[in-house]
């Protein structure tokens, strides 16, 4: 399946688009990274997709930063407690802010990839 000509054509198209996006980003948003968040159910494949995306972006010249998945490191053990989602959301915001600040002060970051961040925490509120 990996050597399927259709897959190779799609990868080539994606690489061309990645080059175009990187060029446009460098022209218009030099110090503001693009933020991509993955959200969804546990074990849905988010981390696997993030790893593949990260490899693809780096291979195409992007400087990336993958944020820590916040829910797995929360000090609040009761995942049904609304405070759990408040903590994961605000913690994700803090980490994004730190990366944005570093980017604005010279660290070379084109894309920030978030594994279950702000949107995910909001979706899990009951």
pLDDT digits (tens, 9 = 90+) for 19-28: 998 888 778 7
> Vertex 68, ends 15 and 111: CA angle to 5°?
30
pTM of the predicted protein model: 0.80
CA distance 118 to 121: 5
Cβ-contact 39, 119 below 8 angstroms: yes
DSSP state of 75: S
In angstroms, rounded to a whole number, what is the distance separating the alpha carbons of residues 105 and 92? 20
Identify the pLDDT of residue 29.
Answer: 63
What is the tens place of the pLDDT at every residue in 84-126?
989 999 999 999 999 999 988 888 899 999 988 888 888 887 6
């Amino acid at each position: 399946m990996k050597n399927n000509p259709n897959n190779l054509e799609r990868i080539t198209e994606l690489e061309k688009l990645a080059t175009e996006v990187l060029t446009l980003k460098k022209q218009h948003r030099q110090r503001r990274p693009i933020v991509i968040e993955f959200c969804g159910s546990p074990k849905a494949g988010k981390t696997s997709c993030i790893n593949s995306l990260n490899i693809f972006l780096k291979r195409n010249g992007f400087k990336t930063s993958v944020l820590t998945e916040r829910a797995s490191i929360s000090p609040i053990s009761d995942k049904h407690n609304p405070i759990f989602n408040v903590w994961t959301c605000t913690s994700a915001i803090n980490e994004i802010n730190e990366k944005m600040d570093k980017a604005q002060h010279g660290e070379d970051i084109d894309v920030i990839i978030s594994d279950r961040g702000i949107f995910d925490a909001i979706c899990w509120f009951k």
